[in-house]
Structures are given as C-alpha cells and as structure tokens.
C-alpha cells in the first residue's frame, strides 16, 4: 500500500511570508497527525485529527498556525506569518484509528527554512 | 508531564557488532507504551519496536531487542549484528493512556553510525 505522502519536500521562505504544507495519509486511516521537528530535537505533536475533527491542538501556536482536514482525508497545515523559529521539518503521520495502541506511519516530511 | 531522555547524542558501532542505545523516561502513569523509531537520513521515520508497559517480557524484533526496566523507567534498545543500513537517528518515544491518545512524546534522538 502507498505510504503517507507530503508535499512539498522542501520550502524556503522569508519571515512574515505564509506557507502551506499538504499531507495525504494512508488510504483508510482515520487519524492524522502533524509534528514539528526542530533540528537536533525529536518531533513534537502540533495537532491531531480523528476523521475531520480536531482531537488535540493544545501545542499548536494558533496565532500563526492553522490546519484543516476537510472530508476526513488529506490535510493542510498553514503558517502565517512565518517566523525564523518556525524553521523545522514538518512531519505528517497517520494511523488506522484512534487509540494508544495504534501504530503511527510517518511521511517523509517537509523541510521549511525561514530566512 | 511526561518526558523522555536520550543521554547519548551519538553512538558508533562496528559492522556485525552489538550496540545498546539508552533511554529513560518520567511518568506518573502505570499503563503506557514505549517505542523506538528509526529515521534514516532524508527518509521517513519507521517503527522499530514497541513495548507495552504491562508486559514484563521484553519485546524482540529480529536483531532488535529492548531491555525494559519499569521500576527504573529505563527502556534501552539493543541492536545485534549491526549492519550498514542500521545507520540512522534513533528516537525513543512514550505514549500514555491519559490525555491525548496518540500524542507521542519523543526524546532528542541518538545518531548511530555503523563502521564497515
């Protein structure tokens, strides 16, 4: 089966610009996650969707970050306006359903550089 | 709040030898899962091995095994017969039952190099 797809793979923008990332989860996976991985650190969960509803967005900086998952399939993460500290790899992951025991499958990530 | 600590930023092993990566965690929960993920350079993160806290038996997946010490809150990964393809960043992660299910909490990672 096809894995989690993300695009673009790389993006360079100037601070105060906006940017959007796209994720298509594994077919049939109900739960989708966005993680931020800053260089030298492990990934940190930003937001979690169950179908098209938000389960957890407690670590999402809502003044500049937004995410949606229309129709419960693919998802978009947006940053507006970007800051230098947003430079990171943004990982999307999906799991078959919602629950602690479910394995999360990760995409290749989008590497964002803010100059 | 739960935390995961990986105290070895980098490790090196000779091909065919055995290496152990360390991980400690802090939690007040009694039930949880622990994971080791592998992230090769420029490639996606994949699950290596998983351990349920309620199981006393250490998990094993081919050349990969863990030493789970619940009382000590320690979860180390042993890689036997190391291969060149094992070179990658390895992340230890915690997943609890409380709060947001699915909120993996990662350590900072250990970069493993394999020498031919």
What are the tens digits of pLDDT across the range B18-39?
999 999 999 988 889 999 999 9
Q: Percentage of residues in chain A with pLDDT exceeding 70? A: 97
Contact A103 B103 (CB under 8 A): no
Which residue in A3, A6, A42, A59 has the most chain B C-beta atoms within 10 A of its own C-beta, making it the best mutation to test that interface? A42
Q: What residue has token string 């009382």?
A: B71
- Maximal CA-CA distance, chain B: 45
Average pLDDT, chain B: 92
Q: Which of A22, A32, A41 is nearest to A102 (CA)?
A: A32
Separation between Cα atoms, residue A88 and residue A24, nearest integer Å: 20
pLDDT at residue A3 above 70? yes
CA–CA separation, A72 vs A28, rounded Å? Answer: 10
Q: Which of A51, A49, A82 is closest to A65 using CA atoms? A: A82
Q: What is the pLDDT of residue B10?
A: 97
Residue A58 has pLDDT above 70, yes or no: yes
Q: Beta strand A65-68 with A75-79: parallel, antiparallel or unpaired? A: antiparallel
Three-state secondary-structure class, residue A49:
strand
Question: In chain A, what residues touch B50 (CB-CB under 8 Å)?
Answer: 103
DSSP A9: S
Q: For B43-48, what is the mean pLDDT? A: 91
Residue A31: which of B37, B95, B102 has the nearest Cβ?
B102
| pLDDT at residue B98 in the model | 58
Closest CA–CA distance from residue A91 to any residue of chain B (Å):
9
pLDDT for B15 equals 97
What is the pLDDT confidence band of residue A70, given thresholds at 50, 70 and 90? confident
Q: Given CB atoms, is A53 within the 8 Å cutoff of chain B? A: no
**A43 — phi, psi (to 5°)?**
-60, 150
Using a CB-CB cut-off of 8 Å, the residues of chain A touching B37 are 106
What does the alpha-carbon distance between residue A82 and residue A86 come to, in Å, rounded to a whole number?
A: 6
Q: What is the pLDDT of residues B67-95, one digit of tens each?
A: 999 999 999 999 999 999 999 999 999 99
Cβ-defined contact of B104 to A104 (cutoff 8 Å): yes
Beta bridge partners of B39: B89
The alpha carbon of A62 is separated from its chain's Cα centroid by a whole number of angstroms, namely: 14
Say how many C-beta atoms besides its own lie within 10 A of residue A50's C-beta: 19
pLDDT digits (tens, 9 = 90+) for A11-32: 999 999 999 999 999 999 999 9
Closest chain A residue to B96, measured at CA:
A100
Q: Which of B105, B94, B97, B103 is nearest to B31 (CA)?
A: B97
B41 pLDDT exceeds 90? no
Percent of chain A with pLDDT over 90: 83
């Amino acid at each position: 089966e096809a894995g989690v797809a993300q695009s673009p793979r790389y993006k360079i923008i100037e601070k105060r610009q906006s940017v959007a990332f796209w994720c298509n989860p594994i077919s049939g996976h109900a739960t989708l996650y966005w993680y931020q991985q800053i260089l030298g650190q492990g990934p940190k969960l930003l937001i979690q969707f169950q179908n098209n509803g938000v389960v957890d967005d407690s670590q999402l900086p809502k003044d500049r970050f937004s995410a949606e998952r229309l129709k419960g399939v693919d998802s978009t993460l947006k940053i507006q306006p970007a800051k230098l500290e947003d430079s990171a790899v943004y990982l999307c992951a999906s799991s078959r359903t919602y629950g602690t025991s479910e394995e999360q499958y990760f995409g290749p990530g989008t590497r964002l550089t803010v100059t | 709040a739960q935390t995961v600590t990986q105290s070895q930023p980098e490790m090196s092993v000779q091909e065919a030898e055995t290496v152990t990566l360390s991980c400690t965690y802090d939690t007040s929960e009694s039930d949880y899962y622990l994971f080791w993920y592998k992230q090769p350079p420029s490639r996606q993160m994949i699950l290596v091995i998983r351990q349920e806290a309620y199981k006393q038996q250490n998990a094993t997946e081919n050349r990969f095994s863990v030493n789970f010490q619940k009382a000590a809150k320690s979860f180390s990964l042993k890689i036997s017969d190391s291969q060149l393809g094992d070179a990658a960043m390895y992340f230890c992660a915690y997943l609890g039952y409380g709060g947001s299910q699915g909120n993996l909490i990662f350590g900072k990672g250990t970069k493993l190099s394999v020498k031919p």
